[in-house]
Amino acid sequence: MASGGWPADWDERMAGKDCPLCAALGQGDSSYSVAVLAGQFTEVFLERRTRLPGYCVVMWRLGHAAEPDDLDPAQASGYWAEVVAVGRAVRARFGPVKVNYMTLGNMVPHLHTHVVPRYLDDPAPGGPIEWAQIHSADPVPEAELHHQAADLRVLLAG
Ligand SMILES: [Zn+2]
């Protein structure tokens, strides 16, 4: 049904076909990210290749859902509460001047939110940030990532 520039199998992807996030849940660290925490509703991952320290992705973990409105009200409340808790922990640990919550899913339609800290030396102050400005070619060093993840775990448990 979906057409235009969307993938031919977009409707199937929305329904969970070959979903890479469903496959990533419960699998821990990957080449993209370090697992921080599994909450009641979400799993939290710290991105490896970013120029914005503390950039996390929070993923809905109770099966496949594409949109927040696919959840029932209690699930939706739980999802956003855990997203907000991650933002709070990122602010406490990394001290950004702003946090952006980006729930997009235009490439991978499994409900997830990018928690993107914006810093004083941000590449796009006062406006939205482009993907190319969030990501970096080189990963944050492994030991530093695990130190950051451990700190976030403590803050999220508190
Ligand atoms: Zn999925």
pLDDT at 63 over 80: yes
Kindly report, residue by residue over 22-39, the tens digit of the pLDDT.
999 999 999 999 999 999
Quickly state the pLDDT bin for 4 (edges 50, 70, 90): confident
62 CA → ligand 1 middle, Å: 9
Percentage of residues of the chain with pLDDT beyond 90: 96
16 CA → ligand 1 middle, Å: 5
pLDDT at 112 over 70: yes
65 CA → ligand 1 middle, Å: 6
Mean local confidence (pLDDT), 147-151: 98
3-state SS of the chain is CCCCCCCCCHHHHHCCCCCHHHHHCCCCCCCCEEEEEECCCEEEEEECCECCCCCEEEEECCCCCCCHHHCCHHHHHHHHHHHHHHHHHHHHHHCCCEEEEECCCCCCCCCEEEEEEECCCCCCCCCCCCHHHHECCCCCCHHHHHHHHHHHHHHHHC
pLDDT at position 2: 67
150 CA → ligand 1 middle, Å: 26
46 CA → ligand 1 middle, Å: 19
Whether residue 85 contacts residue 92, with contact meaning beta carbons closer than 8 Å, is answered with: no
> Rounded to two decimals, what is the model's pTM?
0.95
pLDDT at position 3: 77
24 CA → ligand 1 middle, Å: 9
Quickly state the pLDDT bin for 142 (edges 50, 70, 90): very high
Rg (CA), the chain: 16
